[in-house]
Amino acid sequence: MAYRAEPPDGGWGWMVVLSAFFQSALVFGVLRSFGVFFVEFVAAFEEPAARVSWIASIGIAVQQFGSECCSWVPRPSEGSGGCGDAQWAVR
């Protein structure tokens, strides 16, 4: 008889991985596809292109700055090399 090991978290870790994937895809997708909507934004805001371009610039700056700030936040699993981060995030 084959032994089948159950995941210690009941398989919830895969939901964390899936949600992280979707979050990354949506954030990067919106920021990178801004050029598709740029002409419409210029027309809707009735502003010069130089002023409207700040929307994407600020969005990317916040994303980059926020990811750097979050890398300095201490985590409870620092000693384990990050092995318990996913379990801590869902509690």
Give the pLDDT confidence of 38-70 residue by residue, as tens digits: 889 899 999 999 998 888 888 888 877 776 666
**pLDDT higher for 78 or 11?**
11
Contact between 9 and 20 under an 8 Å Cβ cutoff? The reply is: no
**pLDDT higher for 30 or 66?**
30
Q: How far apart are CA 42 and CA 87, in angstroms?
A: 44
Cβ neighbours for 85, distance < 8 A, ≥ 6 positions apart: 75, 77
Average confidence score pLDDT of the chain:
75
At residue 15, the pLDDT reads 84
User: What pTM value is reported for the model?
Assistant: 0.48
- Computed from CA positions of residues 79, 73, 25, 64, in that sequence, does the dihedral angle turn out positive or negative? negative
**pLDDT higher for 73 or 19?**
19
